[in-house]
């Protein structure tokens, strides 16, 4: 590419961000173009053009000058520390303890990249504040042969719906088929959960989750402002009981300890969410940011419940401590 990109464009052009990553992997990590192509999920020819763009944009002298160079380094350290399939670290807004808009935008870019092929596919989608941001940042794509399936319910026990039923919004942005899970996150009784799970619709959704090419979700923390408590899915007593048995994070509604194990929380017998398991042979992506969520993210990665991460620089540093 002969055109030089103006310096004012460097922080806004997504091609430059991708070129910086390709250049860093090539020059700092001595990766081959085939390895870079696999990691960035692009073709080898695209890698060649990205590295050329990095040169022509004056990103490279004796060191990488792009503002994302520190984020790229943090992502590589996280990938090696937790044996991740992929990791993206976005810059954190100065002084912020969490940066949901930036991380949500990064999650949207990941989803757009994964949806670039037009072949029929199924994706599993979680709920929550960060995932809602992903749906808002996602550009419109025409993928009528895609099926989006929810990994969690979205109703309280009295039938009230949450504002975070993300699968509907993502399906709309992709023009894809939508498979929500129209049931309480936590049923009133274990017997009620069994009745719900015996329905044909529930079994169909469960089958779709098993076929999903990748899963994309947020993660929650425990405390007085935990999302499951705040949104009315759990009572304060149920929240406290989960914390008493060691819960540090909430993964698809399940309470997990610091090692990523699902703890013996009483409400689990009534939980209708898709049950996670470690070491899945597909991308299981956490999109999350913030000091409060860091212990939960660390737990899920330690327990290998997730194998991909999208976060911000401040959270990344906490995960590397």
**72 domain residue, yes or no:** no
Final residue of a structural domain among 67, 88, 109: 67
Assess contact for 292 and 223: CB atoms under 8 A: yes
CATH number of the domain to which 211 belongs = 3.40.50.1360
Per DSSP (E only), the strands in 20-145 are 86-90, 121-125
Instruction: Please give the residue that has the higher pLDDT: either 61 or 310.
Output: 310
Instruction: Please give the residue that has the higher pLDDT: either 267 or 92.
Output: 267
Query: How open is the CA angle 192-198-200, to the nearest 5 degrees?
Result: 135
Instruction: Please give the residue that has the higher pLDDT: either 320 or 61.
Output: 320
Residue-number span of the structural domain to which 50 is assigned:
7-67
Same domain, 257 and 288: yes
Alpha helices in 57-165 (DSSP H): 69-82, 100-114, 129-137
Number of structural domains in the chain: 2
pLDDT per position as a tens digit, 156-186: 898 888 777 899 999 999 999 999 998 999 9
pLDDT at residue 8 greater than cutoff 60: no
What would the mean pLDDT of 241-266 be, rounded to a whole number? Answer: 97
Residues constituting the chain: 321
pLDDT per position as a tens digit, 46-84: 999 998 998 888 776 655 556 678 898 999 999 999 999
Same domain, 48 and 123: no
Place of tokens 């194998």: 307
- Identify the burial level of 189 via C-beta atoms within 10 angstroms of its C-beta, where 0-12 means exposed, 13-18 middle and 19 or more buried: exposed
pLDDT at residue 4 greater than cutoff 60: no
Confidence of residue 208 (pLDDT cuts 50, 70, 90): very high
pLDDT for the residue 1: 33
Same domain, 26 and 87: no
For the chain, give the mean pLDDT.
90
pTM, whole model, 2 decimals?
0.81
Same domain, 58 and 116: no
pLDDT for the residue 63: 52
Question: Which of 5-9, 28-32, 197-201, 248-252 is the least confident region?
Answer: 5-9
DSSP strand pairing (308-312 vs 86-90): parallel
CATH number of the domain to which 24 belongs = 1.10.10
- Find all residues with CB under 8 Å of 254, minimum gap 6, and list them: 262, 265, 268, 271, 273, 275, 276
Give CA separation, 67 vs 22, 242, 289, in Å.
14, 41, 19
Which helix (H) or strand (E) is 200 found in, with range? helix 200-211
pLDDT for the residue 31: 85
Question: Which of 27-41, 110-124, 164-178 is the least confident region?
Answer: 27-41
pLDDT for the residue 59: 77
Assess contact for 253 and 185: CB atoms under 8 A: yes
Assess contact for 114 and 282: CB atoms under 8 A: no
DSSP strand pairing (254-256 vs 249-251): antiparallel
**238 domain residue, yes or no:** yes
pLDDT at residue 192 greater than cutoff 90: yes
Assess contact for 153 and 184: CB atoms under 8 A: yes
- % the chain with pLDDT above 70: 93
pLDDT at residue 9 greater than cutoff 60: no
Assess contact for 250 and 220: CB atoms under 8 A: yes
pLDDT for the residue 67: 63
Give CA separation, 314 vs 43, 214, 228, 297, in Å.
31, 26, 25, 13
């Amino acid at each position: 590419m002969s055109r030089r990109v103006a310096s004012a464009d460097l922080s806004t052009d997504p091609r430059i961000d991708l070129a910086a990553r390709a250049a860093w992997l090539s020059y700092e990590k001595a990766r081959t173009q085939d390895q870079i192509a696999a990691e960035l999920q692009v073709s080898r020819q695209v890698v060649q053009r990205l590295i050329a763009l990095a040169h022509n944009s004056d990103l490279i002298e004796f060191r990488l000058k792009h503002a994302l160079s520190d984020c790229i380094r943090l992502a590589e350290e996280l990938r090696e520390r937790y044996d991740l399939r992929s990791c993206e670290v976005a810059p954190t807004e100065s002084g912020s303890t969490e940066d949901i808009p930036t991380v949500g935008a990064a999650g949207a870019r990941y989803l757009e990249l994964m949806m670039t092929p037009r072949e029929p596919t199924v994706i599993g989608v979680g709920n929550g504040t960060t995932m809602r941001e992903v749906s808002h940042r996602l550009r419109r794509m025409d993928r009528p042969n895609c099926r989006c399936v929810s990994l969690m319910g979205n109703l309280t026990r009295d039938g009230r719906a949450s504002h975070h039923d993300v699968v509907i919004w993502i399906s709309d942005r992709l023009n894809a088929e939508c498979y929500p899970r129209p049931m309480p996150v936590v049923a009133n009784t274990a017997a009620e959960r069994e009745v719900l799970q015996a329905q044909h619709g529930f079994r169909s959704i469960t089958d779709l989750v098993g076929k999903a090419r990748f899963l994309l979700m947020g993660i929650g923390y425990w405390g007085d402002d935990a999302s499951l408590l705040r949104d009315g899915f759990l009572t304060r007593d149920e929240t406290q009981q989960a914390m008493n048995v060691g819960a540090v994070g909430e993964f698809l509604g399940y309470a997990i300890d610091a090692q990523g194990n699902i703890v013996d929380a009483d409400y689990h017998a009534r939980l209708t969410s898709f049950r996670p398991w470690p070491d899945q042979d597909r991308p299981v992506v956490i999109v999350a940011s913030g000091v409060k969520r860091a212990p939960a993210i660390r737990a899920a990665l330690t327990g290998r419940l997730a194998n991909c991460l999208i976060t911000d620089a401040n959270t990344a540093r906490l995960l590397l401590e």
